[in-house]
Amino acid sequence: MFERVLAATVVAICAVLLLRLALGTRRRLRFDAFFRRLWLRLRHGGHSLWRWRESRRHAEMARKAADELIKRARDRGEWDGNVYTPKSFRKPPRDKMH
Residue 73 confidence (pLDDT): 75
Residue 98 confidence (pLDDT): 61
Residue 91 above 80 pLDDT? no
pLDDT digits (tens, 9 = 90+) for 37-63: 999 999 999 999 999 999 999 999 999
Query: Where is pLDDT greater, at 67 or 70?
Result: 67
Range with lowest mean pLDDT among 18-22, 44-48, 80-84: 80-84
Residue 15 above 70 pLDDT? yes
CA distance 7 to 84: 70
Query: Where is pLDDT greater, at 89 or 20?
Result: 20
Q: Are 86 and 76 in contact (CB under 8 A)?
A: yes
In terms of DSSP H, where are the helices of 1-98? 2-22, 25-74
Q: In the chain, what percentage of residues exceed pLDDT 70?
A: 98
CA distance 51 to 90: 47
